[in-house]
Amino acid sequence: MTDATNTLHALLDAYLRCPVDSVRTELEQALRSYQTDWIRARAGADAPPQAKAKAEEAPAPVKKAIVPKPRFPIASADLEVLKRLADGWPGTTADVARWAWFENRELVALDPNPAGEGPEVLRLTPLGWAAIGRMPED
């Protein structure tokens, strides 16, 4: 071990005021394992079959966060408005009489009007999408 490593170990022992040998051993084993996997993954044709199998595995699909449905009842007419917004209807605060109710329930967010002036445009939030049982199109 180098002098810097010994100094670090002494500092950890003094700071934690307890022996850190077991933790240090676990960290060193984990580091060796990571380094071995990293080297095997980049070794190419010389890599053992184990590393090739890992490299050929498809990455796990990314799961989107599940947004819980709202805990309050939503009238069917309000659900229809939310579905129209999801379908691309550019509803504004002037078009939707209950926009304040939607906003207070965090179902919609208000965006500035693209024309630069006029009523604000309603945009569904993740909770709004969950209320209609759909996922936003990315």
Looking at residue 40, its pLDDT comes to: 74
Burial of 122 (0-12, 13-18, 19+ CB in 10 A): buried
Q: Against a cut of 0.75, is the pTM above it?
A: no
In angstroms, the Cα distances linking 12 to 4, 98, 111 are: 12, 61, 52
Handedness of CA 29, 31, 36, 40 (dihedral sign): positive
For the chain, what are the domain ranges?
3-56, 76-131
Burial of 82 (0-12, 13-18, 19+ CB in 10 A): buried
Q: What is the pLDDT of residues 38-66, one digit of tens each?
A: 777 777 655 555 544 555 555 666 556 56
Q: What is the pLDDT of residues 6-20, one digit of tens each?
A: 777 777 777 666 666
Looking at residue 39, its pLDDT comes to: 76
For 42, the token pair is: 């980049």
Query: Could you name the CATH architecture of 76-131?
Result: Orthogonal Bundle (1.10)
User: What does the mean pLDDT of the chain come to?
Assistant: 78
Of 98, 106, 97, 101, the residue nearest 124 (C-alpha): 106
Residue that wins the pLDDT comparison between 34 and 22: 34
Identify whether the C-beta of residue 108 lies closer than 8 Å to the C-beta of residue 128: yes
